[in-house]
Amino acid sequence: MPIANSLRNFMLAEGVKYDVLSHTHSSTSSEAAQAAHVPGDRLAKAVLLEDDSGYVLAVLPASCRLELGALHHALHRRLGLATESEVGELFRDCELGAIPPFGEAYGIDTVLDDSLMGQPEVYFEAGDHEELIRVSGDQFRQLFAGAPHGHFSRHA
């Protein structure tokens, strides 16, 4: 499957330079990191959350677990996991479980875990379970320049 159209259009509009890495089929972001031989701390995974105010895409390293309590405190919102059907509806051009970290490409607010901010390069799902995209750390930080951020994850 090629890069998700919404993601491709977003990166084109932002002038992002990137590489595509193919890997064997994976079911999780941690498996994708292993299959592509990249550190889990550098692979940004996206978790779709929701509350009565709408959706939020939380972006954190694949090697970490989301700490909802810390995120509740940081955003002053009581967020819960979105359902698979909601994920499928919002990310129609992506396979379930392979959503990219740029909510802006899908009209969704995004929050970034601080642990990704210092990485020299960042990898993320291209919209399927067999490709990752690599961007420089500088470009990744520029893409998230206006997004809220904080520490809301811990190593798994």
21 CB contacts (<8 Å, ≥6 apart)?
36, 38, 123, 131, 132, 133, 134
pLDDT of 42: 97
pLDDT of 57: 98
pLDDT of 156: 82
| Residue 148 CA: distances (Å) to CA of 8, 30, 34, 79, 119 | 23, 24, 29, 15, 18
pLDDT tens digits for the chain (156 residues)? 579 999 999 999 999 999 999 999 999 899 899 999 999 999 999 999 999 999 999 999 999 999 999 999 999 999 999 999 999 999 999 999 999 999 999 999 999 999 999 999 999 999 999 999 999 999 999 999 989 999 999 998
Instruction: List the beta bridge partners of residue 61.
Output: 44
Residues of the domain holding 12: 5-155
Separation of alpha carbons 34 and 77, rounded Å: 33
Q: Based on the structure, what is the number of domains in the chain?
A: 1
Neighbours of 78 (CB within 10 A): 12
The answer to whether 109 touches 55, Cβ cutoff 8 Å, is yes
Separation of alpha carbons 113 and 136, rounded Å: 17
CATH number, domain at 40?
A: 3.90.960.10
pLDDT of 1: 55
For residue 104, give the 3-state DSSP assignment.
helix
The answer to whether 124 touches 101, Cβ cutoff 8 Å, is yes
Separation of alpha carbons 112 and 89, rounded Å: 22
